[in-house]
């Protein structure tokens, strides 16, 4: 097999010369992804689960879960598995069985859109509060909904500044509030405290909705019992990514919303389905992959994956600090925050960086060997320039 240094099939002219050597192109893509894999420690995709059985058995035909997970009929679909996934995640979050609804999405972003759409339909005049550490999908969703967003400060460690939230709400107390908490911010994996947010809302007598964007940390924190959507939590919805903690090989996620807040939807005659979801046709393969990841490991297996990943993150923090590179992490986090390394190291290790701060994410499947190699590269590259270490809060609580 010859090595192709660049992929030369990108133009329409290339495609118009079809048939192309498709095998060579696919080989090239796989070779490039395989070559990058050992240094992919900057993005939060688990790499320890084997999804090949589902891909081999189901990956060659269309599985379309069009409509609501509760719908029946249509072409080949995996709604029975989707319902099981939604129920398992809702149970893990202690959501009341008689007040829950959800579906398998294309990812955390669609989950945020779906949940905030439901909240906004219920509270059309609400102001939508989110912190500066919220994911970019939140302000984007606020704009798509034509809602009014209010930005709240985040502390240096990434957690919401509750005093600033209170000040922002006080100035707008005549309007309902939709507050977006993040469970696992993108850069530092900080967890906003939903109990404190609820207390701020109650203190100001403001009606509204509390949504949790739990793209990365939703499942790990739910398995700990630290993220709960039980009746006392005051949390109305949650969005989780499926390709992060479960490492599913296609972008996907799960959204859960309290059934009681939803408004009636239309029934689509020609598909004979309820129009409850953001997209019409939906990926049945993603639901099957999530179901398989859950079915083959169960709660205990996934708890073990969480604790191993946290153990590695603690190890990485120690090793980096011992090498003179001041690193820190929140106690529950897979994410290790460090001063941004020199460009050569950053590029090789595909690090996500925000100015002078970068992170590595010790997702399940990342190894000590990878951490050691990263630390060795850093040590070889430069003498580090310490930055002040933000103080993480004490034990995070989301309920």
Ligand X SMILES: Cc1ncc(COP(=O)(O)O)c(C=O)c1O
Residues in touch with ligand X (CB under 6 A): 107-109, 135, 137, 182, 184-186, 213, 215-216, 241, 251, 253
Report, in Å, the least distance between residue 136 CB and ligand X: 8
- Ordered alpha helix ranges (H), 61-210: 79-92, 108-122, 137-145, 162-170, 194-203
Report, in Å, the least distance between residue 203 CB and ligand X: 26
Q: Tell me whether residue 139 or residue 365 sits nearer to ligand X (CB atom).
A: 139
Q: CB of 221 within 8 A of CB of 244?
A: no
Q: CB of 183 within 8 A of CB of 212?
A: yes
Report, in Å, the least distance between residue 378 CB and ligand X: 24
Q: CB of 248 within 8 A of CB of 242?
A: yes
Report, in Å, the least distance between residue 183 CB and ligand X: 8
Q: Tell me whether residue 114 or residue 319 sits nearer to ligand X (CB atom).
A: 114
Q: Tell me whether residue 138 or residue 223 sits nearer to ligand X (CB atom).
A: 138
Q: Tell me whether residue 197 or residue 378 sits nearer to ligand X (CB atom).
A: 197
Give the 3-state secondary structure percentages of the chain, helix then strand then coil, rounded to 5: 40, 15, 45
The Cα-based distances of 245 to 85, 193, 302, 303, 316 in angstroms read: 14, 21, 9, 11, 19
Report, in Å, the least distance between residue 241 CB and ligand X: 4
Q: Tell me whether residue 95 or residue 361 sits nearer to ligand X (CB atom).
A: 361
Report, in Å, the least distance between residue 108 CB and ligand X: 3
The DSSP letter of residue 213 is E
Report, in Å, the least distance between residue 240 CB and ligand X: 9
Q: Tell me whether residue 65 or residue 186 sits nearer to ligand X (CB atom).
A: 186
Q: Tell me whether residue 142 or residue 378 sits nearer to ligand X (CB atom).
A: 142
Report, in Å, the least distance between residue 214 CB and ligand X: 8
The DSSP letter of residue 38 is G
Output the CA angle 218-222-225, nearest 5 degrees. Answer: 150
Q: How far is the first Cα of the chain from the last one, in angstroms, to the nearest whole number?
A: 55
Q: Tell me whether residue 135 or residue 155 sits nearer to ligand X (CB atom).
A: 135
Distance CA 93, CA 258 (A): 12
């Amino acid at each position: 097999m010859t090595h192709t240094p660049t992929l030369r099939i990108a133009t329409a002219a290339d495609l118009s010369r079809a048939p192309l050597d498709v095998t060579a192109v696919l080989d090239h893509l796989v070779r490039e992804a395989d070559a990058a894999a050992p240094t992919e420690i900057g993005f939060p995709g688990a790499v320890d689960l084997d999804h090949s059985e589902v891909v081999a058995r189901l990956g060659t035909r269309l599985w379309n879960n069009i409509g609501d997970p509760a719908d029946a009929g249509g072409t080949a679909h995996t709604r029975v598995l989707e319902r099981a996934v939604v129920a398992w995640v809702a149970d893990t979050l202690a959501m009341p069985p008689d007040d829950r609804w959800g579906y398998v999405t294309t990812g955390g972003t669609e989950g945020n859109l779906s949940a905030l759409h439901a909240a906004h339909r219920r509270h059309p005049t609400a102001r939508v509060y989110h912190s500066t550490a919220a994911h970019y999908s939140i302000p984007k969703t606020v704009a798509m909904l034509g809602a009014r967003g209010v930005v709240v400060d985040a502390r240096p460690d990434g957690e919401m500044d509750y005093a600033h939230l209170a000040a922002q709400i006080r100035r707008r107390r005549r309007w309902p509030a939709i507050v977006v908490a993040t469970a696992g911010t993108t850069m530092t994996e900080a967890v906003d405290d939903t109990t404190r947010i609820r207390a701020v809302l109650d203190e100001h007598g403001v009606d509204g909705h509390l949504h949790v964007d739990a793209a990365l940390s939703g499942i790990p924190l739910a398995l700990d019992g630290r993220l709960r959507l039980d009746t006392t939590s005051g949390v109305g919805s949650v969005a989780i990514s499926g390709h992060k903690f479960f490492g599913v090989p296609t972008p996907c996620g799960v959204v859960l919303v309290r059934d009681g807040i939803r408004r009636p939807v239309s029934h689509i005659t020609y598909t004979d389905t309820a129009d409850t979801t953001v997209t019409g046709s939906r990926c049945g393969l993603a639901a099957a992959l999530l179901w398989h990841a859950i079915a083959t490991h169960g709660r205990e297996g996934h708890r073990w994956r969480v604790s191993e990943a946290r153990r590695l993150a603690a190890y990485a923090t120690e090793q980096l600090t011992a090498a003179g590179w001041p690193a820190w992490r929140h106690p529950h986090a897979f994410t290790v925050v460090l001063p941004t390394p020199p460009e050569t190291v950053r590029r090789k290790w595909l690090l996500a960086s925000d100015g002078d701060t970068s992170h590595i994410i010790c997702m399940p499947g990342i190894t000590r060997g990878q951490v050691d190699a990263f630390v060795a590269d850093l040590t070889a590259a430069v003498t580090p320039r310490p930055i002040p270490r933000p103080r993480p809060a004490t034990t995070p609580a989301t309920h």
